[in-house]
Homo-oligomer: A and B are copies of this chain.
Amino acid sequence: MRILLVGAGGTLGSAVRKAFTERGHEVVGVGRTGGDLICDVTDTAAVARMYAQVGPLDAVTVAAGDAVFRPLADMAADDFVATFRGKALGQLELVRQGVRHVAATGSFTLVSGILTEEPIVAGSAASAANGAVEAFVRAAAIELPPQRINAVSPTVLEESLPAYGPFFTGMQSVPAARAATAYVRSVEGAQTGQVYQVHC
């Protein structure tokens, strides 16, 4: 398959690229500053340009998202707005525009995270954005067939512990390679409307 992978250069994205490539798929990596294609997916017009130039796709997959982590008492109104834009709206836009560019039986795989169900201090904006992504996936799944859509919800990645470990004290981490297998399941499988939790 020919698979678009947004965030291909990140910690999770690198593992997903490797998993897809090992399975014989062609990966078109998208990044904000580098990759096969450069695109800021929070920019609607940039997404349109990206889809116009990328060519035929069997799957769109996302392994990137920005969220503001800050105690609720210190959160600014703009932090919620920025997190919706950085983690939720860009992914919804990739689907909204992508339905016309992905194969008729192709698929979308978005990324949420464990914070949807298991909150941490300073993670309220990220939880909200993740909850939006997961509910959207369930809703879009009844309108997209025969195209499919799922989300992958990883816990904190082992490789991200130096940066995010203190936020996730006492919570199990998983290797990025393990989260990547859920992307393979979503793309090569036949289910839709699922949230594949990779929490332990």
Q: Which A residues fall within an 8 A CB radius of B?
A: 44, 71-73, 75, 77, 80-81, 84, 88-89, 92-93, 95-96, 99, 115-117, 119-121, 123-124, 126-136, 138-144
B140 and A72 form a contact (CB under 8 A) = yes
The 8 Å CB contact of A89, one of B44, B80, B123, is: B80
A96 and B77 form a contact (CB under 8 A) = yes
Please indicate which of the listed interface residues A119, A123, A132, A138 has the most CB atoms of chain B within 10 Å of its own CB: A132
Q: How far is the CB of A9 from chain B (nearest CB, A)?
A: 25
A99 to B130, CA, bound (A): 23
The 8 Å CB contact of A96, one of B72, B93, B127, is: B72
A142 and B128 form a contact (CB under 8 A) = no
B119 and A142 form a contact (CB under 8 A) = yes
So how many copies of this chain end up in the complex? 2
A123 to B143, CA, bound (A): 10
A138 and B127 form a contact (CB under 8 A) = yes
The 8 Å CB contact of A132, one of B88, B93, B95, is: B88
Residues of B close to A116: CB separation below 8 A: 131, 135
Q: How far is the CB of A122 from chain B (nearest CB, A)?
A: 8
A89 to B125, CA, bound (A): 10
Please indicate which of the listed interface residues A93, A120, A136, A144 has the most CB atoms of chain B within 10 Å of its own CB: A136
With A80-B92, A89-B81 known as contacts, the answer to whether A141 contacts B129 (CB < 8 A) is: no
Q: Which partner residue on chain B sits nearest A78 by CB separation?
A: B44
A139 to B124, CA, bound (A): 5
Q: How far is the CB of A40 from chain B (nearest CB, A)?
A: 14
| 11 contacts across the A-B interface (CB closer than 8 A) | A72-B99, A80-B96, A117-B135, A119-B138, A119-B142, A120-B139, A120-B142, A121-B142, A126-B139, A128-B133, A128-B139
